[in-house]
Structure 1
Amino acid sequence: MIAIDAMMVCLDLSDIDEKLVAFTRSICERLQVGKVYFVHNVKVAELSDDFRELFGNMDLATEVEGNINDIVTEHFGNATAYEVLVGEEPNTEVMLAELVKRYHIKLALLGKKMSDKSTGALGTKLLQVLPCSVLVFPETASASIHKALLPLDFSATSVHALRLSQNLATQLGLQLEILHVYRLPTQYFPLISEEKAVKKAEEIVKERFATLQRKHQETAGVPYTLVRAANKSVAERIRLHLGKGKYDLLVLGLKGSNPLPSLRFGSVPKEIYNMDLPIPLWLVYSEEVIR
């Protein structure tokens, strides 16, 4: 069973905040969530001179907290225990990372605007520094989730994401499917037949799936699809597959063995995050990785 002791919702005082709060409510109604922290950081140092001249020494943090409380009251209600936290720190990423550690946050919810409205730079930084799993909710996404896709590469990271996805599917009654994108060693063509190479690659992958299902019997009934990357990146193949299956959620495992955040994040999750996907993206760290 998935139990989220503490969850952090990152708000930016834009139109997407109401959607994030409403989506948080739907999560709390369907999963066991202990407490939710609605968080915003006011960068006082970046306020313009015009703002200071117009409003003087106004307690901006208190005003922001009141605004967030109004949104939470309207769109979250009493779904579970919650607290509104407003900071005035120069570095938002550092502040949020510290809150994750202080309150033992298991899941952070981030909103994501389309690329024509935002560069997504802050979100990319947060994904690299937050020591917890992250659920990204695009502004065009729906809170209704019925079908989930898990790309699997057989790493320990993706197997952990598979277990979480299976538990999620069981608890919420979701339809779960697995996708594996494979590549062929094209440097050996035409020394070997491409047809034979494809056949051999798929045989190997199917055997790996069989081994995985024997080891994790709860996954035995989950359907999977094999897709060749060919002239596309793995992330692009995943995006194309999403367009065919009418999925409502994408789950990806995150690696954590590299001490450099830019490498730890991984190229596939980063590329997918930067795409304008219309569905939520759950980026999963295992407890071992976080420790």
Structure 2
Amino acid sequence: MNTLKRIMVGLDLTEMDDTLISYTAFLCSISEIEKVYFIHAEKSLDIPAEVLKGIPNGMAADEKIRVAMEEKIYSYFGPEQRSKVEVQVVEGSPLKELLHWSKEKQIDMVVVGRKFHLRGSGVLAQKILRSGRVSVLFVPENEDPILNHIMVSVDFSEYSLMALDRILHSALTRPEVRITCLHVYEVPTGYITLGISYEDFDERMKGFARDKFEQVLARFPELRDRATLRLVKQENEDDVGELIVVEAKRARADMLVIGAKGKSAAALFVLGSVTEKILRHNDDMPMIVYKKEKEELGFLDALLGND
């Protein structure tokens, strides 16, 4: 089952575009992605005529941008891959247009840049994740295309198991790609009232996690020969988001995967606290945040002005 057939890549005509195009071309080369939509949104394409002087053949502004985008994109995609590429320049708010077209084109995942040093705030990427029901792949600037080891943050909730299921059955997870399931646990302070030592309760928590992981392997038997469980204890002073990112780097993972709990219209623009913390600490590792499609449907439709 391939759950990643149609992706959309948001370009902003900065240096970040090269990284995004290169990484997307790499993903297409190792998977069965069927369609890639590269999209750039300009707030206004109503450019004064005097500004357009000198443009060959009286080419309109959006067409000129599209041609320039195609030239760059095709330098990364070989002739055999170009048939799956579509380039689009639209007018309007980048956030609203990306959300609109991700719904219109039935996109499985939006690919966006994660800036650190490059020009631009990178705020749009997080807004897309908060506002839409679509899953998002964050690609950091200057990322080298490689994917041999994926770390999935697993707390054994339905959201983390959904993320594990999605990445396991996506076109990206080739048989040779290693998967590490990272589980962060803590020893509750209430252990004192149970008359048991801290060390014993710690072992109980690890044993509980291992039992839950065995249930995961029973649910996804194809994981048994390729996945490992990594247990990390969270101390009181630790930030769980930072801890997950540090462990992913320590394990030399090429990608971090998490499942985000969606919010209702009463809590717009808010993600689960762990997702927010991971985003805050991760600037230099590709990361997929999977979302359940139906959870954000109401708000997305409201945002786009749909009935």
- TM class, shorter-length: 0.7 to 0.9
Report the equivalent of 1:111: 113
- Percent identical pairs in the alignment equals 25
Report the equivalent of 2:61: 60
Aligned amino acid, residue 217 of structure 1: P
Give the SS at the match of 2:230. Answer: strand
Using the TM superposition, name which of 147-156 and 277-286 deviates more. Answer: 277-286
Give the SS at the match of 1:137. Answer: strand
Q: Distance in 2 between matches of 1:278 and 1:75?
A: 22
Q: 1:5 Cα shift?
A: 3.1
Q: 1:97 aligns with which of 93, 96, 99?
A: 99
Give the SS at the match of 2:12. Answer: coil
Using the TM superposition, name which of 57-66 and 29-38 deviates more. Answer: 57-66
Q: 1:135 Cα shift?
A: 0.8
- TM-score computed with the length of structure 1 as normaliser: 0.87
Contact 2:3-2:108 at 8 Å conserved across structures: no
Q: 1:242 aligns with which of 236, 248, 260?
A: 248
Q: 1:285 aligns with which of 271, 288, 291?
A: 291
Give the SS at the match of 1:252. Answer: strand
Q: 1:28 Cα shift?
A: 1.4
Report the equivalent of 2:269: 262
Change in CA separation of 1:12 and 1:116 when aligned onto 2, cut-off 3 Å: closer
1:32 aligns with 2:32: yes
Change in CA separation of 1:25 and 1:4 when aligned onto 2, cut-off 3 Å: same
Give the SS at the match of 1:109. Answer: strand
Q: Distance in 2 between matches of 1:206 and 1:103?
A: 41
1:81 aligns with 2:84: yes
Give the SS at the match of 1:250. Answer: strand
Contact 2:264-2:295 at 8 Å conserved across structures: no
Q: 1:215 Cα shift?
A: 2.8
Report the equivalent of 1:225: 230
Report the equivalent of 1:141: 143
Q: 1:261 Cα shift?
A: 3.5
- TM-score computed with the length of structure 2 as normaliser: 0.83
| Structure 2 unaligned residues grouped into runs of 5+ | 298-307
CA displacement, residues 225-254 of structure 1 (integer Å, 9 cap, x when unaligned):
111111212111111112211111111112
Change in CA separation of 1:26 and 1:150 when aligned onto 2, cut-off 3 Å: same
Q: Distance in 1 between matches of 2:52 and 2:25?
A: 36
Change in CA separation of 1:73 and 1:149 when aligned onto 2, cut-off 3 Å: same
CA displacement, residues 249-269 of structure 1 (integer Å, 9 cap, x when unaligned):
111112235333333x21222
Change in CA separation of 1:42 and 1:270 when aligned onto 2, cut-off 3 Å: same
Report the equivalent of 2:174: 171
Report the equivalent of 2:203: 199
Contact 2:206-2:231 at 8 Å conserved across structures: yes
Q: Distance in 1 between matches of 2:128 and 2:90?
A: 16
Q: 1:210 Cα shift?
A: 2.0
Residues 5-44 of structure 1 correspond to what in structure 2 (within 5 A)? 5-44=5-44
Q: 1:25 Cα shift?
A: 1.3
Q: Distance in 2 between matches of 1:116 and 1:40?
A: 18
Give the SS at the match of 2:284. Answer: coil
Q: Distance in 2 between matches of 1:120 and 1:73?
A: 25
Change in CA separation of 1:34 and 1:170 when aligned onto 2, cut-off 3 Å: closer
Using the TM superposition, name which of 117-126 and 61-70 deviates more. Answer: 117-126
Contact 1:114-1:276 at 8 Å conserved across structures: no
Aligned amino acid, residue 221 of structure 2: Q
CA displacement, residues 20-39 of structure 1 (integer Å, 9 cap, x when unaligned):
11211111121112211110
Q: 1:170 Cα shift?
A: 4.9
| Structure 1 unaligned residues grouped into runs of 5+ | none
1:186 aligns with 2:189: yes
Contact 2:26-2:145 at 8 Å conserved across structures: yes
Change in CA separation of 1:149 and 1:73 when aligned onto 2, cut-off 3 Å: same
Change in CA separation of 1:14 and 1:117 when aligned onto 2, cut-off 3 Å: closer
